[in-house]
């Protein structure tokens, strides 16, 4: 069992989401970064779809009321145990009764996942453990400060970590976000595409699980709209009359009336969700076929992720406290001055 001290911006239980419910007006919901979500469960020897706590923007803190193995995954960085142990993100760790865990905000990304061995003892709502932000149907799946949450089968495992290569390759913002354009746009609006792809956009703090608004130079295309409401889904890119794009995320509505430009493919959704506020991006049109190839490559790379058991040490060097994780194959991860770095032998 844990007691929640602070939830940060928004923390909630998530799994892969709900499927086959759109005809009832219920969106998919589910984890924003599917790969970091699955990794958190693998580090705890759970099924990939075991419910985890998704934490947006950091600031989450809890205290453990019994022993358990837990994992934290997401962008390269660290989390803190008992205020003095800094553990590399994408690690599991054994926690004892009265241990505290804190996930600080992170300059490298936006979304974190917190899993425990065996999973949390919660009930499904509409066939899923996923909180749905716009409605009150799933309020029991939103993490609340002061509440206790139980474990299914508390136990401890060997502590493990993995490197950040997958995150760096696929989920770090490289300034480009791929988009699959609507056929109508490709066939009759090549001028718009050229201008759109040469415009710098910036993510804003208007971010929720429903979607994110961008800022930048306003487009003067499609300022007069008379669209018939049509189906929208995760990744749909809308261009309202004000000329500033909106990208819909997992808790978005199921239909929309703004102009649809295209959609962010599955291969980009985790990266897009991890964008920090004020990140600069440009869009690049890609074919559906190329998107599928990119996604399949991500899946292949994910399946190759390896795990290393480690030992932890806190060292005092010239008065500074350095946290060190040493793996079975003698690779060394150190955290000092709030930075994570590898240590190599000459």
Contacts with 55 (C-beta within 8 Å, 6 or more apart), sequence order: 7, 8, 10, 11, 103, 111, 112, 113, 114
- One domain for residues 145 and 84: yes
pLDDT digits (tens, 9 = 90+) for 188-212: 888 889 999 999 999 988 788 999 9
Which of 169, 189, 213 lies at the terminal end of a domain, its last residue? 169
Alpha helical stretches, state H, the chain: 34-43, 165-170, 183-188, 190-197, 266-273, 288-303
Q: Is residue 100 part of a domain?
A: yes
- One domain for residues 196 and 151: no
Which of 142, 169, 196 lies at the terminal end of a domain, its last residue? 169
Q: For residue 74, what are the domain limits?
A: 2-169
Cα angle 19, 23, 26 (rounded to 5 degrees) comes to: 60
- One domain for residues 79 and 207: no
- One domain for residues 212 and 240: yes
- One domain for residues 45 and 151: yes
pLDDT digits (tens, 9 = 90+) for 107-133: 899 999 999 999 999 999 999 999 998
Average pLDDT along the chain? 91
- One domain for residues 209 and 224: yes
Q: Is residue 321 part of a domain?
A: no
In this prediction, residues 84-104 reach a mean pLDDT of 96
- One domain for residues 156 and 202: no
- One domain for residues 264 and 127: no
Instruction: Evaluate if residue 343 carries a pLDDT over 80.
Output: no
- The pLDDT score that the predictor gives to residue 187 is 81
Q: Is residue 339 part of a domain?
A: no
In this prediction, residues 45-56 reach a mean pLDDT of 96
CATH assignment of the domain containing 211: 2.40.100.10
Q: State how many domains the chain has.
A: 2
CA dist 309 and 47 (Å) reads 20
pLDDT digits (tens, 9 = 90+) for 152-179: 988 999 999 998 899 999 999 899 999 9
- The pLDDT score that the predictor gives to residue 120 is 97
- The pLDDT score that the predictor gives to residue 346 is 55
CA dist 329 and 346 (Å) reads 16
- pLDDT > 90: percent of the chain: 68
- One domain for residues 48 and 95: yes
- The pLDDT score that the predictor gives to residue 318 is 78
DSSP at 229: P
The pTM assigned to this predicted structure is 0.93
Q: Is residue 311 part of a domain?
A: no
Q: Which CA distances in Å does 272 have to 43, 153, 159?
A: 24, 34, 30
Q: Is residue 136 part of a domain?
A: yes
Instruction: Evaluate if residue 336 carries a pLDDT over 90.
Output: no
- One domain for residues 135 and 13: yes
Q: Is residue 239 part of a domain?
A: yes
Q: Is residue 304 part of a domain?
A: no
DSSP at 24: G
- One domain for residues 190 and 165: no
Which of 297, 321, 339 lies at the terminal end of a domain, its last residue? 297
- One domain for residues 140 and 7: yes
């Amino acid at each position: 069992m844990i007691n929640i001290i602070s939830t940060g911006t928004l923390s909630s239980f998530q799994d892969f989401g709900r499927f086959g419910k759109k005809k009832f007006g219920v969106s998919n919901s589910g984890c924003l970064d599917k790969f970091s979500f699955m990794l958190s469960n693998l580090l705890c020897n759970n099924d990939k779809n075991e419910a985890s706590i998704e934490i947006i923007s950091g600031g989450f803190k809890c205290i453990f009321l019994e022993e358990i193995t837990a994992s934290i995954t997401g962008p390269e960085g660290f989390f803190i145990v008992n205020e003095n142990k800094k553990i590399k993100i994408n690690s599991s760790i054994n926690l004892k009764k009265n241990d505290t865990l804190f996930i600080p905000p992170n300059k490298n990304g936006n979304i974190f996942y917190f899993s425990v061995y065996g999973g949390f003892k919660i009930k499904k709502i509409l066939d899923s453990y996923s909180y749905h932000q716009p409605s009150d149907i799933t309020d029991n799946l939103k993490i609340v400060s002061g509440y206790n949450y139980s474990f299914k089968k508390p136990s401890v495992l060997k502590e493990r970590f993995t490197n950040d290569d997958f995150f760096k390759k696929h989920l770090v913002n490289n300034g480009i976000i791929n988009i699959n354009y609507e056929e109508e746009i490709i066939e009759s609006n090549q001028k718009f595409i050229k201008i759109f792809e040469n415009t710098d956009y910036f993510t804003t703090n208007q971010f929720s699980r429903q979607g994110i608004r961008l800022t930048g130079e306003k487009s003067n295309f499609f300022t007069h709209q008379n669209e018939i409401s049509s189906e929208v889904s995760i990744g749909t890119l809308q261009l309202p009359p004000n000329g500033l794009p909106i990208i819909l995320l997992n808790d978005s509505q199921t239909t929309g009336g703004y102009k649809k430009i295209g959609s962010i493919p599955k291969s980009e959704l985790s990266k897009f969700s991890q964008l920090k506020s004020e990140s600069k991006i440009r869009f690049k049109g890609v074919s559906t076929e190329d998107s599928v190839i990119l996604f399949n490559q991500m899946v292949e790379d994910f399946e190759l992720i390896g795990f290393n058991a480690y030992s932890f040490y806190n060292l005092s060097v010239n008065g500074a406290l350095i946290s060190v994780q040493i793996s079975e194959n003698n690779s060394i991860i150190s955290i000092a001055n709030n930075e994570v770095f590898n240590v190599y032998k000459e």
